A and B are shown apart, each in its own frame.
Chain A
């Protein structure tokens, strides 16, 4: 069945051959209903196993802190079975949407099949590995067969930008909060195109590139975003990956203001909870959060989404956060599964992706704010 999915998808993508991959990242372990579980069960019953290292994306449960789940027991049981089935298929129980923050990660030119839109854009753009935009069913099918269709971003010619985006003057480029906003703006104008971003300072931090890519893959279907002087295929100014027919657009201050208000659909309301991190916080972001809290207790319910690898690497950060009353969520994310108390109406977040999806998923209002403001809101001074 896995090979059938890979070959039929290859035909749909216009590929005439398959290529070998060295890793996969699998999104199908998040429960969306019986169809996903039936597919995984069918694979397992047929004896399928991952043939390349295959990391797992978030599930619907925090397996380290299962008591955080507030949803129906029946859904929890299905979610757990789905997560266990993927482990039995030989996938790695990493349970993170940011597998690029793990120690073993692909390198320049590696062919991979990575699902989860933010992971796909990061692995392509920041690590210089090569993946198309894969999703449920196809991700695990590639992992089982060790093959992917040889087309699109797997090939040199597919990696040229067809849209060049200039960052206009006067934007607060040293503020972390700008990057999820810019990402959402890039996604709006780029759609599913390969984009190239000009005008940011050299050597942007991975956390900023992560926020950019996650935003671009939220409002658009961007799978490769070259950032001049920061991402590995856009370092040589004499050979920037731009196609001859590329168009150019500029993003300015008014665009940033518009997106910021779009993402704050509850602007003017008083938040009654705070949720940080989507994608999962890195160790560096957890450190920043600890620094900003400075030992103060939170007064509002406050959640931070991160990976089990991050808290296993730095248990001291988790215990400091827990000491301040912060709920550390691993293995899943607060906008995917019922963790936040149902009485909560308005949530402050530093994540563009969370701000975009939570109103539809959870029915809450959102205020997008820099992490420093989110912390002040959480402790009751903001």
Chain B
């Protein structure tokens, strides 16, 4: 298990389309389940997850926090556009459980919230 986790930690996953954690990721496994997402079937557990932005549902913070609690969240998230909803799920996981998942924005930084 540890070996698997360490190997996964080295992986990065670049998403070609924005992902909604709710309806898009199973927090019990970390698998992308959105049938409309081109990377359905990939797993976000322990990866450095890159995507343009989050998308859709306002339930995403809970799902990200839950995935992180269960050890199936990403190691870090890199966004092109700031997305407070993505950041918030990670922030609450740290607040409640001390689990860290840094969320960074690598431009172009949007002022649109």
Question: Does A116 lie within 8 Å of B87, measured CB to CB?
Answer: no
**Which A residues from 39 to 70 make CB contacts under 8 A with B?**
39, 42
Question: Does A133 lie within 8 Å of B66, measured CB to CB?
Answer: no
Give Cα distance in the complex from A96 to B91, angstroms: 27
Knowing A132-B113, A133-B85, A262-B36, say if A39 contacts B96 (CB, 8 Å): yes
When distances are taken between beta carbons in the complex, the residues of chain A under 8 Å from B27 are: 32-33
Which stretch, B5-13, B43-51, B53-61, touches the partner chain A?
B53-61
Question: Does B58 lie within 8 Å of A135, measured CB to CB?
Answer: yes
Interface size class on chain B is 35 or more
When distances are taken between beta carbons in the complex, the residues of chain B under 8 Å from A30 are: 59, 62
Question: Does B88 lie within 8 Å of A135, measured CB to CB?
Answer: yes
Question: Nearest chain-A residue to B109 (Cβ)?
Answer: A14
Interface size class on chain A is 35 or more
When distances are taken between beta carbons in the complex, the residues of chain A under 8 Å from B111 are: 14
Interface membership of B77, Cβ < 8 A:
no
Give Cα distance in the complex from A8 to B96, angstroms: 15
Which of the residues B63, B95, B113 comes within 8 Å of A32, measured between beta carbons?
B63
Question: Nearest chain-A residue to B63 (Cβ)?
Answer: A32
**Which A residues from 1 to 19 make CB contacts under 8 A with B?**
1, 4-5, 8-9, 12-14
Which stretch, A174-182, A214-222, A280-288, A297-305, touches the partner chain B?
A214-222
Knowing A5-B88, A356-B36, say if A135 contacts B60 (CB, 8 Å): yes
When distances are taken between beta carbons in the complex, the residues of chain B under 8 Å from A191 are: 18, 53
Knowing A14-B113, A193-B112, say if A28 contacts B62 (CB, 8 Å): yes
Smallest Cβ distance from B100 to chain A, in angstroms?
Answer: 14
Question: Nearest chain-B residue to A356 (Cβ)?
Answer: B36
Question: Does B58 lie within 8 Å of A139, measured CB to CB?
Answer: yes
**Which B residues from 71 to 113 make CB contacts under 8 A with A?**
81-85, 87-89, 91-93, 95-97, 110-113
Which of the residues B59, B60, B88 comes within 8 Å of A9, measured between beta carbons?
B88
Smallest Cβ distance from A246 to chain B, in angstroms?
Answer: 13
Please count the residue pairs between chain A and chain B whose beta carbons lie under 8 angstroms apart in the complex: 133
**Which A residues from 117 to 159 make CB contacts under 8 A with B?**
117, 120, 132-139, 151-153, 158
Give Cα distance in the complex from A136 to B59, angstroms: 6
Give Cα distance in the complex from A135 to B54, angstroms: 12
Give Cα distance in the complex from A39 to B56, angstroms: 22
Give Cα distance in the complex from A38 to B96, angstroms: 8
When distances are taken between beta carbons in the complex, the residues of chain A under 8 Å from B70 are: 33
Question: Does A36 lie within 8 Å of B34, measured CB to CB?
Answer: no
Interface membership of B30, Cβ < 8 A:
no
Give Cα distance in the complex from A359 to B34, angstroms: 8
Knowing A39-B92, A42-B96, A133-B113, say if A32 contacts B53 (CB, 8 Å): no
Question: Does B92 lie within 8 Å of A265, measured CB to CB?
Answer: no
Question: Does B55 lie within 8 Å of A33, measured CB to CB?
Answer: no
When distances are taken between beta carbons in the complex, the residues of chain B under 8 Å from A28 are: 62
Contact with B along A237-266 (1 / 0, CB 8 A): 000000000000000000000000010010
Give 17 A-B contacts (CB < 8 Å), ordered by A residue: A5-B88, A27-B58, A30-B62, A32-B63, A33-B66, A35-B92, A36-B65, A39-B65, A117-B56, A117-B57, A136-B60, A136-B61, A192-B83, A221-B54, A262-B36, A357-B23, A360-B23
